[in-house]
């Protein structure tokens, strides 16, 4: 029996009437299967099915949510064992890193990281003690021992978490060998790839020319022209579909869309091959390629996901030593109405097209995104993402979009994580917050209880399956 227990009513409203109803609504959805159509878990995890090495490697080293907070308080990347670009680490003692993390665990108070970590530690792993500097080594030993048991191997946890589908994020040039292995394996799973072409559509990517050469290798043809480039992308998308892909993903600075003439696109591509592309060229090319990706989605049925508005690798010093994805991606103000005009006018009314749009700019919810999704049949709103994947972020999202776009022009919850153990934690948090929001609407007589019960099931499970065209299965 676990002596340290999280409060069963966590995240619910203190008003007893709302809290009681939120508890009932949550009970209806808490055990529904998890559908995760966008994330960054490495598929090799399930191929090898090896034990997680230790608590530090499981929780801290790969999680930029954690070490960005610690770094902001003057705790160095070196002391946390964060790998440098060359793979080397200044600190390799897992126990010492864990102690440093536990000594500073108080920094995460009130953050979504704390909410996720509490679920992982005390619900998933059953840690018997609250994590503090004083209990750090005892907790480390406990977790290390638990991780070596068969019940905590990746495949066993996948089943325990009731994951029905898990999408990874894969470069257009990826061989998808791990996915092919999983499809051949007797293990029945729903692990599928997602087509992400950013490495070959972003002309400013430092590895762009290498990526183009690799893309050519994947399709068996040297790519010298824009026409050959487009053909190669179409072939790769078809390959991804055969391996189970349901969607594409585009991590871009701006959602600007504009179709160039064939001659203009070809000229930009040729200029980039010569190493002469400018930031203005790159922006124009990305805008054109979003139109091309939408056109391909109409033809092949892959759902298009647009993740804009992150100024990547803002901290040049950290990027120079440690590379990307080290907690220094910072949101920028993002405009959607004009930037998406061409794409939505070309494809937004087509029943064959589906696009899920995300944002890091909360100010766009009621001003632009809700009105757009509340009109164009092809557009749905992705859930609160990244810095807004939090209790108040989810509440702000529902408050600002529901009256214009309703619940049914959203896609439920998407965890977007590379930390495997955080998947059930994130879905549980979302289900609790949505239950509380719905309970509040019932108590205020805006919804009936019957309506709230159905919407709760839809937000937790049905909408995401429909949006990503998984099948027509539904739960009431």
Strands, E assignment, 79-214: 163-167, 170-171, 191-192, 195-196
Q: How many residues are present in the chain?
A: 476
Instruction: Please give the Cα distance from 46 to 165 (Å, whole number).
Output: 13
Radius of gyration over every alpha carbon of the chain, rounded to an integer in angstroms: 23
Q: Check residue 187 and give its pLDDT.
A: 72
Can you read off the two tokens belonging to residue 207?
């590895």
pTM for this prediction = 0.96
Q: Return the closest-CA partner of residue 251 out of 210, 196, 211, 302.
A: 196
User: Does residue 354 sit in helix, strand or coil?
Assistant: coil
What is the pLDDT at residue 473?
62
CA–CA distance, 450 with 465 (Å, rounded to integer): 22
As a whole number of angstroms, the distance between CA 466 and CA 421 comes to 25
Contacts of 338 (CB under 8 A, 6+ apart): none
413 burial (CB, 10 Å; 0-12 / 13-18 / 19+) is buried
pLDDT of residue 189: 78
Please tell us whether the domain made up of 16-50+154-467 is placed in CATH 3.30.110.40: no
Q: What is the predicted pLDDT for the residue at 4?
A: 74
Q: Which residues does 9 contact at the CB level (< 8 Å), separation at least 6?
A: 19, 23
Q: Tell me, what's the pLDDT at 2?
A: 46
Domain boundary assignment for the chain: 16-50+154-467, 51-152
Could you count the other beta carbons within 10 Å of the beta carbon of residue 205? 16
Q: Kindly give, in sequence order, each residue whose CB lies less than 8 Å from that of residue 404, ignoring residues fewer than 6 positions away.
A: 366, 370, 371, 374
Q: How many CA atoms lie within 13 Å of 434's alpha carbon, on the beta-carbon side?
A: 30
**Residue found under tokens 């066993």:** 156
Q: Which pLDDT does position 474 carry in this prediction?
A: 58
Q: What is the pLDDT along the chain (476 residues), one digit of tens a residue?
A: 445 789 999 999 999 999 999 999 999 999 999 999 999 999 999 999 999 999 999 999 888 889 899 999 999 999 999 999 999 999 999 999 999 999 999 999 999 999 999 999 999 999 999 999 999 999 999 999 999 999 999 999 999 999 999 999 999 999 999 999 998 886 767 999 999 999 999 999 999 999 999 999 999 999 999 999 999 999 999 999 999 999 999 999 999 999 999 999 999 999 999 999 999 999 999 999 999 999 999 999 999 999 999 999 999 999 999 998 899 999 999 999 999 999 999 999 999 999 999 999 999 999 999 999 999 999 999 999 999 999 999 999 999 999 999 999 999 999 999 999 999 999 999 999 999 999 999 999 999 999 999 999 999 999 999 999 997 565 65
> Domain 51-152 - what CATH class?
mainly alpha
CB 227 within 8 A of CB 258: no
């Amino acid at each position: 029996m676990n002596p340290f227990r999280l409060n069963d009513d966590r995240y619910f409203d203190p008003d007893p009437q709302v809290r009681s109803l939120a508890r009932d609504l949550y009970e209806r959805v808490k055990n529904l299967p998890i559908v995760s159509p966008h994330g960054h878990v490495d598929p090799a995890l399930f191929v090898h099915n090896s034990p997680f090495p230790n608590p530090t490697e499981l929780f801290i080293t790969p999680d930029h949510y954690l070490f960005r907070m610690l770094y902001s308080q003057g705790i160095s990347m070196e002391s946390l064992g964060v790998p440098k670009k060359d793979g080397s680490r200044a600190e390799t003692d897992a126990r010492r890193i864990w102690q440093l993390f536990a000594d500073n665990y108080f920094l995460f108070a009130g953050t979504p990281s704390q909410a996720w970590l509490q679920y992982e530690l005390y619900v998933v792993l059953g840690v018997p003690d609250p994590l503090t500097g004083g209990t750090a080594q005892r907790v480390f030993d406990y977790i290390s021992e638990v991780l070596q048991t068969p019940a905590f191997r990746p495949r066993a946890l996948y089943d325990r978490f009731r994951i029905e589908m898990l999408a990874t994020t894969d470069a257009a040039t990826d061989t998808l060998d791990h996915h092919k292995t999983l499809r051949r394996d007797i293990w029945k799973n729903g692990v599928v790839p997602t087509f992400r072409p950013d490495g070959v559509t972003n002309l400013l990517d430092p590895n762009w020319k290498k990526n183009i050469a690799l893309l050519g290798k994947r399709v068996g043809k040297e790519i010298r022209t824009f026409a050959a480039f487009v053909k190669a992308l179409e072939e790769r998308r078809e390959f991804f579909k055969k391996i189970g892909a349901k969607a594409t993903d585009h991590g871009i600075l701006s959602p600007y869309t504009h179709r160039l003439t064939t001659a203009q696109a070809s000229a930009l591509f040729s200029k980039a091959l010569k190493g002469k592309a400018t930031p203005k060229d790159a922006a124009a090319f990305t805008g054109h390629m979003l139109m091309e990706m939408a056109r391909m989605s109409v033809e092949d049925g892959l759902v298009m996901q647009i993740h804009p508005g992150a100024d990547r690798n803002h901290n040049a010093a950290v990027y120079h030593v440690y590379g990307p994805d080290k907690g220094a991606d910072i949101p920028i103000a993002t405009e959607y109405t004009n930037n998406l005009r061409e794409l939505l006018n070309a494809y937004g009314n087509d029943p064959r097209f589906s696009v899920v749009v995300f944002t890091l700019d909360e100010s766009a919810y009621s001003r632009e995104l809700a009105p757009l999704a509340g009109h164009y049949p092809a557009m749905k709103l992705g859930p609160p993402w990244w810095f807004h994947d939090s209790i108040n972020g989810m509440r702000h999202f529902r408050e600002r979009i529901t009256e214009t776009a309703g619940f049914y022009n959203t896609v439920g919850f998407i965890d977007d994580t590379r930390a495997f153990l955080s998947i059930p934690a994130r879905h549980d948090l979302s289900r609790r917050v949505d239950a509380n929001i719905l309970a509040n609407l019932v108590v205020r007589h805006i919804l009936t209880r019957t309506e709230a019960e159905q919407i709760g099931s839809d937000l937790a499970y049905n909408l995401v399956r429909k949006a990503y065209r998984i099948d027509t299965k539904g739960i009431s």
